[in-house]
Structure 1
Amino acid sequence: MFRLFLKQKMVWLGLLGIAVAVAIFTFAFMGSTTNPVPKDLPIAMVVEDAGSKTPNNKLINLGKRIEKSLGSMGELPVKWGIEASEEDARQKMDERKYYATIVLPEDLTANVMSLPTEKANIPEVKILINEGMNYTGATASKQMLEGIIMKMNNQVQQMMYAQIGKQTNVITINQAKLLANPIRTEEERMNKVGERSGNGNLPTMLTQTLWLTTFISSMILFVAMRKITHTKPRLSSIAAQLVTGVLFVGVISAVMLTIATSVLNANITDVLSLSVFVFFVGYMFFLLQNALLNWIGFAAAPIFLLLFFFSMPILSLPKEFLPSLTNDLLYSWVPFRFSVDGMRSLLFFDGYHIGAPGSVLGLIGIGSLLVMVASVLKPSKLSVKKQVTVDN
């Protein structure tokens, strides 16, 4: 019995199939995210420092020095953007162009130079963290800026120690405490992700749920259509698909957001706007899925699943953390990305710049609708068989 069992081809073909499936899924889930290394993180710098004169009447501008030194530090995975003012930097952060901003104030040098005097003013540097753009990217940017400020503190300490060494006066205890940590940091979080948002990954989680549930809906309606048409889609069956698709996607959106808000208490402030967008995205997904199903049938199902498995792990990471190959060949065009971007705009940016991802999804939906309608023109298997019989 054991030998007969092992002689079955299905056992060994199944083993080969499992090995291939494991290889595909391992690469899909881990290939682009096993060792995410940031590169070219966009961070803004605002230098408002007016400088200050030393007792020798020499002008010193620490802000300009810091700007020059940071620009020449090639080991940092940062793409610096120089902004004229804090307001300009905030505007660009709302446009999701920077993960963070460091602001060197107008009185930075003057306050640093006052440290060894009796009228010492504490220098402050401001850091703006753009959480809503991507929590992982914002956190990494924050850590880099904190490291930069630590180096600034060390440099200021050495400069002050050299200046104090030339003085005959003894510094006070308070002055010594200030020199231990001369530059203080004021941190402000912008476009906050809030609590119960999966550290800002709520758009990704909603997109995952939306794609899988619309995929199941598409398969159900496609099977129902095949039972009626038997051969190829007709205009009436496509119309039925479109109408029932509205019903299915509406139920999916309502149930998903009801559970998210009422049961899980997800951090969603504008439920109505998000509901409209979720329905819109879900229906665009539905059109895309049914366009392929109507043309190539059940062979489209593994395509949808592979697209899902390869895309979802990378959507929670900033694109600056992804390998170049993944960025160019996958992240740049997958429809999930535009869904996540649109939901991120609604959840964390009050709907600012939602038009761009919405337009792309709309074009995908229009193209898919045209492909669905065109599927009535494809030759049916029955007509092909008849043609072959006649030719013979």
Structure 2
Amino acid sequence: MAGSTSRRPIALVLALSVAGAVVAAVLGLLTFGAQATARPDAVPLAVSAPAQLRPVAERIAANGGDTVAWRVDTPEGARARLADKDVYGILELAPTSGGLGATVVLSGAVNPQGTQIAQQVLTGAAQAIGGEVRTVTVNPASIAGRTAPLAASALLWVAGLVAAAGFVLLAARAGLRVRPVHRLGLVAGVSVVGVAAVAGLLALWDSALPLGVDVLGFLLLTAVAFAAVQGALLRLLGIRAMAILGPLYLIAPAVAGQVPELLNPVYRALLWSWTPFRFAAEGLRSLVQGTGSAPDVRLGVIVLAALAVAGLAVLSLPSRRPADAPEPVLTATRPR
């Protein structure tokens, strides 16, 4: 009997050691693995030129390899592609008195990772053809402007997660009977207060960042969508839902912060393609940088609205209870 009792702590130690290693491996695969395997692949760039320089543009596009996916277009068409984020940068060719001039055009509304790789490739291509080279940035973004979209999305997720998990734990400990109106009230409360906190931080980081109705409305939609989904999962799974909701937060900076062309195809398909952070961050980036008509804003609104509706629908369902049970109330009995 004594030998059996002494073996139990040893088995527990071994089991927990293995569990810790497994969790670390899974989180490493989901987070740092995305960065460790990053490699440019088919990065969308444009080269534009007037009719007389079209052959030069086509020669450049023919030498892109697997790293770059060139789009040969007119100057106006290439600028439209950049505004819609179909490309991450443009190499504009134009005749000059000295022969040939090249302008690297970048946009502050594009994900900083995409802008960085675009600048490197386009500058190298411009230098290879010789002539005068200059760089122009449309919709320039400050350091805060580049950081704010992903930071705001992650912070709104944290705000909803803390409120929803805290509500589940405290309500269970106090023996509270929770109605749908209380769950919906929590979503509304944390969304409004969370947006106010995030807006205050954005104003503190850079007072020039626009915080108009469009930006604040998008932030509010993001907050409602996140809080509703979190509350729905916690209602369905209980506190066990934290095993899903917690790691999702870690995915945000590792996966959603990069452009898909830099991610390993596995990460691109299994994580980046659906993570809600990318829809929130990229839509907000366009709004903050003054390109609110970009397709990612419309896509973000559609996806976030769908998440909000699904989550709120689950939270609106009445609790299961016997037909003769009294109407639940938010009261807690004091221990005697």
TM-score (norm 1): 0.73
Change (3 A) 1:280 1:342: same
Displacement of 1:267: 5.3
Matches for 1:200-349 after TM superposition, within 5 Å: 200-226=146-172, 227-229=175-177, 237-262=179-204, 264-265=205-206, 268-349=209-290
Counterpart CA distance in 2 for 1:375 and 1:193 is 47
Q: More deviation in 269-278 or 213-222? A: 269-278
Query: Which of residues 357, 370, 377 in structure 1 aligns to 2:313?
Result: 370
Partner in structure 2 of residue 187 of structure 1 = 135
CA contact (8 A) 2:156 2:194 kept: yes
Displacement of 1:259: 2.9
Counterpart CA distance in 1 for 2:272 and 2:210 is 28
Q: Deviations over 1:191-248 (max 9, x none)?
A: 2222333xx232111111111121011112233554323xxx6xxx111111232122
Unaligned 5+ segments in structure 2 are 326-336
Secondary structure of 2:251 counterpart = helix
Give the letter aligned to residue 131 of structure 1: G
Query: Which of residues 73, 83, 87 in structure 2 aligns to 1:94?
Result: 83
Give the letter aligned to residue 305 of structure 2: G
Q: Deviations over 1:279-318 (max 9, x none)?
A: 2211111111111111121121111112222343111211
Change (3 A) 1:377 1:91: farther
Q: Deviations over 1:327-381 (max 9, x none)?
A: 11111111111111221121113422322211210011112222233463699xx
Change (3 A) 1:75 1:83: closer
Displacement of 1:255: 1.9
TM-score (norm 2): 0.85
Give the letter aligned to residue 221 of structure 1: F
CA contact (8 A) 1:311 1:330 kept: no
Counterpart CA distance in 2 for 1:266 and 1:41 is 33
Give the letter aligned to residue 48 of structure 1: P
Partner in structure 2 of residue 138 of structure 1 = 115
Counterpart CA distance in 2 for 1:325 and 1:267 is 39
Counterpart CA distance in 1 for 2:253 and 2:320 is 34
Partner in structure 1 of residue 92 of structure 2 = 103
CA contact (8 A) 1:36 1:321 kept: yes
CA contact (8 A) 2:108 2:139 kept: yes
CA contact (8 A) 1:39 1:321 kept: yes
Secondary structure of 2:35 counterpart = coil
Percentage identity across aligned positions? 18
Structure 2 residue 101 is the aligned partner of structure 1 residue 124: yes
For the pair shown, the structure with the greater C-alpha radius of gyration is: 1
Structure 2 residue 66 is the aligned partner of structure 1 residue 64: no
Change (3 A) 1:378 1:310: farther
Matches for 1:20-169 after TM superposition, within 5 Å: 20-50=22-52, 63-75=53-65, 77-84=67-74, 86-105=75-94, 107=95, 111=97, 121=98, 123-153=100-130
Change (3 A) 1:9 1:190: same
Change (3 A) 1:212 1:133: same
Displacement of 1:5: 10
Give the letter aligned to residue 125 of structure 1: A
CA contact (8 A) 1:311 1:331 kept: no
Counterpart CA distance in 2 for 1:23 and 1:43 is 36
The alignment covers a number of residue pairs equal to 316
Unaligned 5+ segments in structure 1 are 51-62, 112-120, 154-182, 383-392
Q: More deviation in 310-319 or 5-14? A: 5-14
Give the letter aligned to residue 216 of structure 2: S
Counterpart CA distance in 1 for 2:115 and 2:235 is 43
CA contact (8 A) 2:150 2:257 kept: yes
Give the letter aligned to residue 260 of structure 1: L
Partner in structure 1 of residue 331 of structure 2 = none
Larger RCO (CA under 8 A, 6+ residues apart)? 2
Partner in structure 2 of residue 357 of structure 1 = 300
Change (3 A) 1:258 1:312: same
Displacement of 1:74: 4.7
